[in-house]
Amino acid sequence: MKPRIVTRYAQAHPVVAPRPSLERVLRRTYMRLAVSAVALAAVCIVFVAWTVLRAYANDNLTLLARSIAYTVEAAVVFNDKPAAQDAIAQIAGNEDIADVRIIDTHGAIFANWQRTGDGPLSRWVHRVADLALPGGVSVPVTHDGKVLARIRVRGRGHQFAIFLIGGIGGVLVCLIIILGAGTLIARQMHRDIVEPLRALAEVAHAVRRDRAFSRRVEATPIAELHELGDDFNALLDEFEVWQHSLREQNATLSHQANHDRLTGLPNRAHFESRLEQALRDARALGTAVGLLYIDSDRFKEINDTLGHDAGDAVLVTIASRLRATLRKDDLVARLGGDEFVALLPGLDREENATRVAQALSESMLAPITLPGGREVTTSVSIGIALFPLHAHDVASLLRMADTAMYEAKRTGNRAWQIARENSNSQ
Q: What is the pLDDT of residue 406?
A: 92
Q: For 266-300, write each residue's pLDDT tens digit.
A: 999 999 999 999 999 999 999 999 999 999 988 99
Extract long-range pairs of 35-44: CB within 8 Å, 24+ residues apart: 36/178, 36/181, 36/182, 36/185, 37/178, 37/181, 37/182, 40/174, 40/177, 40/178, 40/181, 41/171, 41/174, 41/175, 41/178, 44/170, 44/171, 44/173, 44/174, 44/177
Whether 238 shows a pLDDT value over 80: the answer reads yes
Instruction: Determine whether 281 is an active site residue.
Output: no
Same domain, 248 and 277: no
- C-alpha angle 303-268-362 in degrees, rounded to nearest 5: 55
Q: What is the pLDDT of residue 127?
A: 64
Q: What is the pLDDT of residue 294?
A: 95
Q: For 123-149, write each residue's pLDDT tens digit.
A: 666 666 666 566 678 889 888 888 888
Which range of residues forms the domain containing residue 182?
18-256
| Beta bridge pairs of residue 234 | none
Same domain, 114 and 244: yes
Q: What burial class does residue 201 get, using C-beta atoms within 10 Å of its C-beta: 0-12 exposed, 13-18 middle, 19+ buried?
A: exposed
pTM: 0.48
Point out the domain boundary residue: 256, 287, 314: 256
| Beta bridge pairs of residue 383 | 293, 417
Q: What is the pLDDT of residue 27?
A: 62
Residue, of 323 and 239, whose pLDDT is higher? 323
25: helix, strand or coil: helix
Same domain, 205 and 325: no
Integer Cα distance of 370 and 306 in angstroms: 9
Point out the domain boundary residue: 256, 284, 305: 256
Q: What is the pLDDT of residue 267?
A: 92
Whether 315 shows a pLDDT value over 90: the answer reads yes
CATH number at residue 248: 3.30.450.20
Same domain, 248 and 134: yes
CB atoms within 10 A of CB 151: 26
Q: What is the pLDDT of residue 141?
A: 87
Q: For 36-72, write each residue's pLDDT tens digit.
A: 776 677 677 766 666 777 777 778 778 888 888 888 8
Q: What is the pLDDT of residue 281?
A: 94
Point out the domain boundary residue: 232, 256, 280: 256
Cα distances from 113 to residues 85, 128, 224, in angstroms, run: 7, 21, 76
The reply to whether 294 falls in a domain is yes
Q: What is the pLDDT of residue 133?
A: 64
What's the chain's average pLDDT? 81
The reply to whether 67 falls in a domain is yes
Q: What is the pLDDT of residue 5?
A: 47
CB atoms within 10 A of CB 154: 23
Q: How many CA atoms lie within 13 A of 166 on its CB side?
A: 12
pLDDT-above-90 percentage for the chain: 31
The reply to whether 250 falls in a domain is yes
CA-nearest of 213, 202, 288 to 243 is 213
The reply to whether 205 falls in a domain is yes
Residue, of 170 and 238, whose pLDDT is higher? 238
Q: For 184-234, write each residue's pLDDT tens digit.
A: 766 676 677 777 777 888 888 888 888 777 788 888 777 877 888 888 888
The reply to whether 235 falls in a domain is yes
Q: What is the pLDDT of residue 318?
A: 95
Q: How many CA atoms lie within 13 A of 292 on its CB side?
A: 30
Query: Residue 376: which pLDDT band, with cuts at 50, 70 and 90?
Result: very high
Give the chain's domain count.
2
Which of 312, 338, 348, 402 does the annotation list as catalytic? Answer: 338
